[in-house]
Amino acid sequence: MTATPPIAAVVLAAGKGSRMGSPLHKVLHPLKGRPMLAHLLDSLAQIAAEKVVLVVGAGREQIEEAFPALPKAIQREQLGTAHAVQAAEGELAGFSGTVLILYGDVPLITLDTMRALCAAVSGDVALAVLGFRPTDTRAYGRLVTAADGSLLRIVEHSDASETERAIGFCNSGVMAVRGDRLFPWLARVGCANAKGEYYLTDIVALARADGYRVATVEAGELEVTGVNSREELAALEEKLAEAVA
Ligand code: UD1
Ligand code: MG
């Protein structure tokens, strides 16, 4: 048996969160009485992440004040999710375990899910993606899988064909990646897509092209619900209360 590799986390929070309609940074809005980001940090402490790097942009002074001890990487321009993770490269120099990529505005990923994703990265599986089956798929990337269930690529809604849009299995955005492969793949990601952005999701096809397998882990919709507006935050709070009751 080989030892479990160490885990480092990159938490993306460079988005302005303008749809919150509030001067408070999105990830600092309270959920269950605590900043959204605090929920993720708690789970990362429990999984004993060796390092947690928060990728910040607009409004980073607020995050610095609220979480002064957390290492931050600055993404000055929002050029896409791949570009955001690239900002953390310096902070992760020398790290060779498993990198867990999370979104600051998707705060309810459980410890068990984080563990399952990281455990899936082993042997010839260099990457594991957290998928889910949302009621409305329109805002999400689709997970294109092979007959054996392994992931071939992720296609964003705006780039997808009609056939691909019919796929119900979607990308939550959360993934675990072999630390020694992550940055070389990110360096190969281009921006020839509908949004002209550097998509993190493109590393799936790159991993396949390099001969690795890509696994998926499935989560329930509540766990991977993202927050974009105060209405969504209130709805999530309500669903959480129902789930507990
Ligand atoms: C992304 C995924 C999509 C997935 C969805 C889940 C890509 C290309 N697409 O799409 O497959 O279904 O999330 O919600 O990854 N961010 C930065 N810097 C950037 C861009 C984004 O920090 O330059 C952060 C945002 O603050 C946010 C997260 O990354 O926390 C996701 O960004 P967003 O623009 O919402 O991605 P989607 O288009 O929703
Ligand atoms: Mg989004």
Residue 3 CA, ligand 2 centroid: distance in Å: 35
Closest listed ligand to the CA of 138: 1
Query: The whole model's pTM is what?
Result: 0.97
**What residues are in contact with ligand 1 under a 6 Å CB criterion?**
12-15, 55, 75, 78-81, 83-84, 103-105, 140-141, 154, 156, 170-173, 199-201, 226
* Residue 202 Cα: closest atom of ligand 1: 8
Examine residue 39 and state whether it is found in any structural domain, yes or no.
yes
Q: In the beta sheet, which residues pair with residue 86?
A: none
19 in a domain, yes or no? yes
Q: What is the pLDDT along the chain (245 residues), one digit of tens a residue?
A: 567 899 999 999 998 788 999 999 999 999 999 999 999 999 999 999 999 999 999 999 999 999 999 999 999 999 999 999 999 999 999 999 999 999 999 999 999 999 999 999 999 999 999 999 999 999 999 999 999 999 999 999 999 999 999 999 999 999 999 999 999 999 999 999 999 999 999 999 999 999 999 999 999 999 999 999 999 999 999 988 887 77
Please state the atom number of ligand 1 nearest to the C-alpha of residue 79: 23
Is 53 among the domain residues? yes
In a domain, 146, yes or no: yes
Query: Could you tell me the residue range of the domain that residue 136 belongs to?
Result: 7-244
Q: Which two tokens stand for residue 180?
A: 């020694």
State which ligand 1 atom lies nearest to the alpha carbon of 103. 30
Q: What is the CATH classification number for the domain harbouring 167?
A: 3.90.550.10
Domain-located, residue 1: no
Task: Note whether residue 69 is domain-resident.
Answer: yes
pLDDT of residue 239: 86
Nearest to 82 by CA among 195, 213, 214: 195
- Is the residue at 111 inside a domain? yes
Residue 2 falls within a domain, yes or no? no
- Strand extents, DSSP E, 15-169: 30-31, 34-35, 51-56, 72-74, 98-103, 125-132, 142-145, 151-155
Q: Residue 153 catalytic?
A: no
Number of domains in the chain: 1
